[in-house]
Amino acid sequence: MDYIVVYWGAPTPSASNAPTNNVAVIGRDATYTGTDKSFKISTLTELEDAGVSTGSLLYKTCTSLFKQKNVGSLEITVVPYPGALASQSFADIESDGSVDGSNGIFYTPNRPVTAISSVKVDFNDGSGMITQTNGAHFTKETLGSLYSGKFTFGGTGYGPLDTAGHPYSGQVPIGSHVYSSYTTSVFQDVFNVLSEDDKDIQLEVYSYNVAEPVSYTDNAATSLFSDYKQINSHCAAVSSSRKWRIGAVALPSAAKPNASASAYGGAGTWNQIRDEIGQSRNFVAIKANPTATLGIADDDPAGCLAGMIVTRNPHDTLTLQEMVISQITYDSFTYMKGWETAQVITLYKDYLDPDLAACLSYGFTFGTNREARINNVRSKFITARKLYSALYALLKTGTVKYNATGMSSAEGNIEATLRQCMQLRYIDGIVSIVTLGKELFTVPYTTLTETQKALYAQYKNSGVFHHIITYIWDTAVEHFQFDSVLEV
């Protein structure tokens, strides 16, 4: 006998049809009373259970993300702002950086920062920490009115003596330690949360009320550009440290390409936003006009965009894809061309489309060349992650030696990973895998010239494989370079 079983209630969410899509949503909730700086959810009910108000911008962005078609079951890292986070000041924290006597570049552990002060150098000579003077001994890299967290020592020797007869630094000598005091804002503390080792995130979404724009920095629209610059700087920093990441924001609904952006902290017009923020593959901006209730946008376009991105294979184009959004009006063709010049994503409705859906004009990042497209960058970032993880697992076994056999083993590991990426449609083909210096290890050592022996020793002593990988993505030739840190 056959039976028909009827299940009542909400349907079971379908599995997302796109892989490796870990998303973080950063948003305001002034009433949030929880103690967690971040937490994970897979449903809106879990978001409410965590103490996030249904009227907050944070909740709005998550709602916009979940409402996209085929999102299914998706785990999201939620970072409430301001929540339980508070401004912090750190004193005498040893900064990250290479102290080798020639590389005078250092970074504060948190990046970006509001201020850097009390920079000191312990020369390891028993004299203790010697205070350094900004301008005379080191310079701080600015980020608008803030600082990127990078400071650089200059000079070719050791500068003037202090009152105790100890030298200030020109270049920092080997064996020294560099210290700095720095201050962060609440917004910058969010970046620190997102930079923690256990945060496996590929896409960051920042909630803004685009109908009446507010900034994280001071709850006003005048600091939007400062926020954008900080987001871009943060994503670029973590992407260079094996956490490949893209940040997504929505522009104000009232923004027009040729109109002044000075009210939002910009120096020029809105169609100059790409030049002002930085031509970066790590930054995505969307311009849309959602409906509003009591001055609050009913949808967050950045959240809607994130939902679209994570439901698609990273090799699939986003252009002409449908977005589920409470869109009320669409920018004119003239404005759309202006946004295209700025590499800002816009929405439009084509009346040849039988569904009359709100579609994306382009899947832009702020990058250049092939990296001006979101799907190109996502494919590259996901492939880089898989390559790094697989090679790390191989090297971690401890069985790979620095010789021709070990290099061939690593190359085989890389090729296998690339072929898997081809099957998953992340890339389209493999051109070559080259290990620098391998030819020196495939012949008897006695046959090498003195110059070759020196180079052999240099490679051997480094303990690092240097691979150059060339592959094909949509008829374009792309490259990876593996050094001690994987470069994309």
130 vs 16 pLDDT, higher one: 130
How would residue 31 be classed by pLDDT, with cut points 50, 70 and 90?
confident
Instruction: State how far Cα 475 lies from the chain centre.
Output: 26
Q: What average pLDDT score do residues 170-191 get? A: 77
- Tell me, what's the pLDDT at 379? 93
- Tell me, what's the pLDDT at 90? 61
- Tell me, what's the pLDDT at 156? 46
- Tell me, what's the pLDDT at 89? 56
172 pLDDT exceeds 70? no
Q: What tokens does 295 get?
A: 């001055």
Write the DSSP assignment of 400-419 as a string of letters: --SSHHHHHHHHHHHHHHHH
Tens digit of pLDDT for each residue in 365-411? 999 999 999 999 999 999 998 998 898 888 888 888 889 999 999 99
DSSP E strands, 144-282: 146-153, 177-184, 203-206, 246-250
1 pLDDT exceeds 80? no
The model's pTM is 0.82
CB atoms within 10 A of CB 403: 13
**How many angstroms separate the most distant Cα atoms in the chain?**
98
How would residue 101 be classed by pLDDT, with cut points 50, 70 and 90?
very low
Length of the chain: 488
9 pLDDT exceeds 80? no
Highest-pLDDT range among 2-16, 137-151, 443-457: 443-457
87 vs 108 pLDDT, higher one: 108
CA distances in angstroms from 66 to 240, 316, 358, listed in the order given: 30, 20, 17
How would residue 13 be classed by pLDDT, with cut points 50, 70 and 90?
very low
Q: What average pLDDT score do residues 309-331 get? A: 89
- Tell me, what's the pLDDT at 175? 67
Highest-pLDDT range among 100-104, 262-266, 318-322: 262-266
State percent of the chain over pLDDT 70: 85
136 vs 468 pLDDT, higher one: 468
Q: What is the mean pLDDT of the chain?
A: 84
Tens digit of pLDDT for each residue in 199-212? 889 999 999 999 99
- Tell me, what's the pLDDT at 252? 96
Determine the Cα–Cα distance for residues 386 and 397; give it in Å rounded to an integer. Answer: 17
- Tell me, what's the pLDDT at 19? 47
- Tell me, what's the pLDDT at 240? 80
